[in-house]
Amino acid sequence: MSSETLELSAPLPLGAAANAETPPKTWWQGLIAVLAWAGAAGLTVLWPDEDTWDFTPHLAALLAVLTVVLAAAALTERRLPPLSARLRPLGPWLIALAILVSLWQVVTAKLGLLPRPFFHPPQSLLEVYLSDWEMLGISVAHSLRLLLLGYAIGASLGFIAGIGLGWSKPVAYWGHPVLRLIGPLPATAWLPIAFFAFPSSASASIFLVALASGIPVAILTWSGVSGVANAYYDIARTLGASSRFLVFKVAIPAAMPHVFVGLFMGLGSSFAVLVVAEMLGVKAGLGWYMQWAQGWGAYGNMYAALLVLALMCAGLVALLFKIRDRLLAWQKGMVRW
Amino acid sequence: MVALAQQADQALLGLSLDISGISHHFDLDGGPLQVLDDVSFSVEPGEFVALLGPSGCGKSTLLRLVAGLEPPRQGQLLEDGAPITGPHPSRVVMFQDPTLYPWRNVWDNVALGLEARGLLKTHKTRVDDALRLVGLDGFAKAFPHQLSGGMAQRVSLARALVNDPRLLVLDEPLGKLDSLTRLAMQGELVDLWRRSGFTALLVTHDVEEALFLATRVLVFSERPARIVADLKVDMTYPRHRSNSYLAELRHEIMVLLGLGANW
């Protein structure tokens, strides 16, 4: 920010990253990880199980395949810089995961230290995935359908409501007390009402998910819109902007960072509501699957579903962040490069 | 640039202002705070008038009234004889902060006025012209956070000029720049004004800036602002900062501002 000539000649920090690094050395962590995974596979085959687990050979095969894939990657990554850049930071985790899977097997299948049926070895989860994948897949589809429908409805309505609250005085006058009253109420509190007020448990759940996601989106959108600097409006007004322009081209883009915080919070609470609704009323979905598996003591199935649920939620959050990073690329410099 | 300047020469002469009996106050917790006290003056088309006064005296409020962002509590503002009732793109303001939209790149920021009036499709080249005019044509795709203070203020100037303003309202636009950048941009502003023929109203508390740029300097009192002097700067452009006539005028103004002892 000093003299003008400096400013103009200085290159823009537009991501012309310095790629002139020294050629990468051998990826030792990768090779250790290969050994660790090979060890996990060997342990699975060579150490006899304490009880009969039908899927021990399958697990050994899976671990062997992982070992081969990792070995191939570790040996070729030096010639593939993009792969290298993604893979190398994962080194410690790849080692740790192999050790974790081994330890898990040792205390369950190999030594039987943990009480059954509450604890299951990894081969038991693998068994669930290989034998019950159809049911799990249908459950995922059901959960996703409820979640995405409810979230889409809730987020859109919340967004519109938030803009109304932030922009229009009458809407704020009537809407503010309502939101103040209903906002803090956990969406699950509506469960009993929702299940008799709606014709089906699915539509009740969609309503609950919409409510859970809509309220944070409404509140954050509202605070985003009302927090837009007056100077932004002054500029647009002196340049001849209509109120429509002020809403769509000034207020909404300026509020987007807040909106995304609301979308993130709403997504989190919609997961909670979805699982509760599926456990209590809906006869499908991952929440129902877990409840059902637990009901007849199939803890392996429960853990398997829990893992799938975790991956689904994490995936959706990651997707939301991807969308945010794309839409709010302009924020990078303000937050941090 | 050529297109902008030519059009300006032909059709868009600056507008005239008639400001009479303007008083204004803000309602604060402790009661009304008067900021303008019976201010009256006229500005001829194409004049460059500097409003000079102590910090916080109410000059910027006067500019907001002229821009139509607020109605005056008392008095009348006329442009070309007609009352000012609201903002209009013929009267463009350049604020102390560039206030670029961080979510728009430089080109889209400059295009703001044309877009707001639905003229962007037919007048795209004007955006490029305006960027060239302020020397930022290589930065169209850059985002505001990538610009220095001087560059950002140039973008804000381009955003104003793209609308062919008949009155450019300048609210200490160079106040936050470093001194070298400020001097350079003062020169650019004068050149632009001379080429384009718009009327300019500049609020500043930099006496030298006022004398270097303006054809006329109005000196204001402490708040509530009253006009204490109306001085004509009778000198051709380009001006030289160390000119003895300007030095005399500067002394005169410093005395009016109560700082005569230092000069």
Distance set, CA B166 to CA A247, B51, B126, B172 (Å): 27, 18, 16, 19
Distance CA A125, CA A307 (A): 9
Give me the number of domains chain B comprises.
1
Interface check for B88 against chain A (CB to CB < 8 A): the answer is yes
Pairing of strands B82-83, B74-79: antiparallel
pLDDT at B101: 93
CATH number at residue B179: 3.40.50.300
Chosen domain end from A77, A92, A119: A119
Residues A192 and A301 in one domain: yes
Chosen domain end from A119, A151, A167: A119
Tokens of A92: 């410690």
Q: How confident is the model at residue B4 (pLDDT cuts 50, 70, 90)?
A: low
Distance CA B173, CA B186 (A): 10
Interface check for A248 against chain B (CB to CB < 8 A): the answer is no
Nearest CA in chain A to B110: A239
Q: Which of A7, A232, A239 sits opposite B150 (nearest CB)?
A: A7
**Distance (Å) from the C-alpha of residue A228 to the closest C-alpha of chain B?**
11
How many beta-carbon contacts under 8 Å exist across A and B?
96
Residues A153 and A67 in one domain: no
Q: Which of A13, A232, A333 sits opposite B99 (nearest CB)?
A: A232
Q: Is the peptide bond before B224 cis (omega within 30 degrees of 0)?
A: yes
Strand partners, B168: B92, B200
Nearest CA in chain A to B91: A238
Q: How confident is the model at residue B27 (pLDDT cuts 50, 70, 90)?
A: confident
CA dihedral A196, A197, A198, A202 (to 10 degrees): -50
Would you say residue A127 lies in a domain?
A: no
pLDDT at B12: 52
pLDDT at A3: 38
Would you say residue B210 lies in a domain?
A: yes
Test mutation, A2, A4, A335, chain B, max B CBs within 10 A: A4
Tokens of A143: 């959960």
Q: What is the largest CA-CA distance in chain A?
A: 80
**Distance (Å) from the C-alpha of residue A326 to the closest C-alpha of chain B?**
12
A227: Cβ–Cβ under 8 A, 6 or more apart, which residues? A255, A258
Interface check for B177 against chain A (CB to CB < 8 A): the answer is no
Please judge whether A334 and B102 are an interchain contact, meaning their C-beta atoms are less than 8 angstroms apart: yes
pLDDT at B36: 86
Residues A58 and A183 in one domain: no
Residues A310 and A250 in one domain: yes
Residues A251 and A102 in one domain: no
Please judge whether A333 and B145 are an interchain contact, meaning their C-beta atoms are less than 8 angstroms apart: yes
Tokens of A324: 């945010």
The DSSP-derived string for A122-142 is HHHHHHHHHHSHHHHHHHHHH
Q: Which of A4, A239, A328 sits opposite B116 (nearest CB)?
A: A239
What domain range is B251 assigned to? Answer: 2-98+168-262
With a cut of 50, list the residues of chain A below it in pLDDT. Answer: 1-20, 335-337
Entry pTM: 0.82
Residues A99 and A49 in one domain: yes
Residues A259 and A330 in one domain: yes
Would you say residue A39 lies in a domain?
A: yes
Single-letter amino acid code for the residue at A235: I
Q: Is the peptide bond before B32 cis (omega within 30 degrees of 0)?
A: no
Give B206-252 pLDDT, tens digit per residue. 888 888 889 999 988 887 888 888 888 888 888 888 888 888 888 88
Q: Is the peptide bond before A117 cis (omega within 30 degrees of 0)?
A: yes
Would you say residue A252 lies in a domain?
A: yes
Residues A180 and A287 in one domain: yes
Test mutation, A7, A228, A237, A238, chain B, max B CBs within 10 A: A238
Interface check for B68 against chain A (CB to CB < 8 A): the answer is yes
Distance CA A277, CA A193 (A): 12
Are B32 and B25 a contacting pair, CB within 8 Å? yes
pLDDT at B61: 87
Distance set, CA B56 to CA A178, B59, B224, B244 (Å): 42, 7, 9, 30
Please judge whether A249 and B116 are an interchain contact, meaning their C-beta atoms are less than 8 angstroms apart: yes
Distance CA B129, CA A164 (A): 38
Distance CA B261, CA B73 (A): 37
**Distance (Å) from the C-alpha of residue A1 to the closest C-alpha of chain B?**
5
Give me the number of domains chain A comprises.
2
Would the pLDDT of B260 be above 80? no
Interface check for B159 against chain A (CB to CB < 8 A): the answer is yes
A117: Cβ–Cβ under 8 A, 6 or more apart, which residues? A297, A299
Pairing of strands B91-94, B167-171: parallel
Strand, coil or helix: B38 = strand
Residues A65 and A200 in one domain: no
Residues A191 and A323 in one domain: yes
Please judge whether B101 and A238 are an interchain contact, meaning their C-beta atoms are less than 8 angstroms apart: no
Buried b (16+ CB within 10 A) or exposed e, A236-268: bbbbbbeeebbbebbbbbbbbbbbbbbbbbbbe
Would you say residue B138 lies in a domain?
A: no
Distance CA A17, CA A194 (A): 54
Pairing of strands B48-52, B199-204: parallel
What domain range is A171 assigned to? Answer: 133-335
Residues A58 and A114 in one domain: yes
Distance set, CA A25 to CA A29, A318, B75, B155 (Å): 11, 31, 78, 47
Percent of chain B with pLDDT over 90: 14
Test mutation, B104, B148, B185, chain A, max A CBs within 10 A: B148
Residues A91 and A212 in one domain: no
Q: What is the ipTM of this complex?
A: 0.84
pLDDT at A297: 85
Q: Which of B99, B117, B149 sits opposite A1 (nearest CB)?
A: B149
Q: Which residue has the tokens 């987020």?
A: A155
CATH number at residue A195: 1.10.3720.10
Would you say residue B208 lies in a domain?
A: yes
Would you say residue A170 lies in a domain?
A: yes
Please judge whether B103 and A242 are an interchain contact, meaning their C-beta atoms are less than 8 angstroms apart: no
Distance CA B213, CA B233 (A): 9
Q: What is the enclosing helix (H) or strand (E) of B31?
A: strand B31-43
Chosen domain end from A91, A119, A147: A119
Nearest CA in chain A to B114: A239
Would you say residue B123 lies in a domain?
A: no
Interface check for B152 against chain A (CB to CB < 8 A): the answer is no
Residue A142 CA, distance from chain mean position: 17
Interface check for B61 against chain A (CB to CB < 8 A): the answer is no
Please judge whether B69 and A239 are an interchain contact, meaning their C-beta atoms are less than 8 angstroms apart: no
Single-letter amino acid code for the residue at B255: V
Alpha helices in chain B (DSSP H): 2-10, 59-67, 106-110, 112-116, 124-133, 149-161, 179-196, 207-213, 244-256
